[in-house]
Amino acid sequence: MRRPQCGLLRLGQRTDGATAVEFAIILTALLLILCGTMDFGNLYLKCNIASEAAREGARMAAVASGTTQTAVQTFVQTKFGNQLTVAMDPTTSATGSTVTVTVSNPITFFTPMISAFFPANYKAKGKTVMQVE
């Protein structure tokens, strides 16, 4: 009498198609994880650039009284790139007051599934407040 073979392939059965399907499923998941990791790394980089640019811009405005928003914007965009948007409050620094510099950095996501969780024009923002010397 023959014993049943649980889970084993019988002689002559082919598994080429099953292997291809399993590979396609696993590859899709791995690519999604890889692209998601790259997107979130890019998001972290853009947030770090915005934060550092805001700190540098606020420091420039805090060191010299009378610094204007245009001067801070030119300095930040020269050092960190033209894609940054700079706002300063108040628009001219005065001794003894505080100055707030806010920098926005646009982000483009490469993975469509990741971009579905963020608004269309998502921007990383950095904000720094310093006392003017």
Residue 75 phi/psi, 5-degree rounding, is: -65, -50
Alpha helices in 1-133 (DSSP H): 16-63, 69-80, 112-115
> How far lies 132's CA from each of 38, 59, 65, 77, 86, in Å?
39, 9, 7, 21, 18
Closest to 41 in 3D by CA, of 101, 124, 121, 103: 124
Per-residue model confidence as pLDDT tens digits over 60-98: 999 988 899 999 999 999 999 999 999 999 999 889 899
**Confidence band of 121 (pLDDT split at 50, 70, 90):** confident
Whether a cis peptide bond, with omega within 30° of 0, leads into 112 is no
Q: What residues contact residue 126 under an 8 Å CB cut-off, 6+ apart?
A: 47, 49, 50, 51, 52, 53, 54, 55, 102, 103, 105
Please provide the size of the chain in residues: 133
Q: What residues contact residue 111 under an 8 Å CB cut-off, 6+ apart?
A: 32, 35, 36, 38, 39
Q: Does the reported pTM lie above 0.85?
A: no
**Confidence band of 115 (pLDDT split at 50, 70, 90):** confident
Classify burial at 125, counting beta carbons within 10 Å of its beta carbon; exposed 0-12, middle 13-18, buried 19 or more: middle
Give residue 5's pLDDT. 58
Q: Say which amino acid occupies 75.
A: F
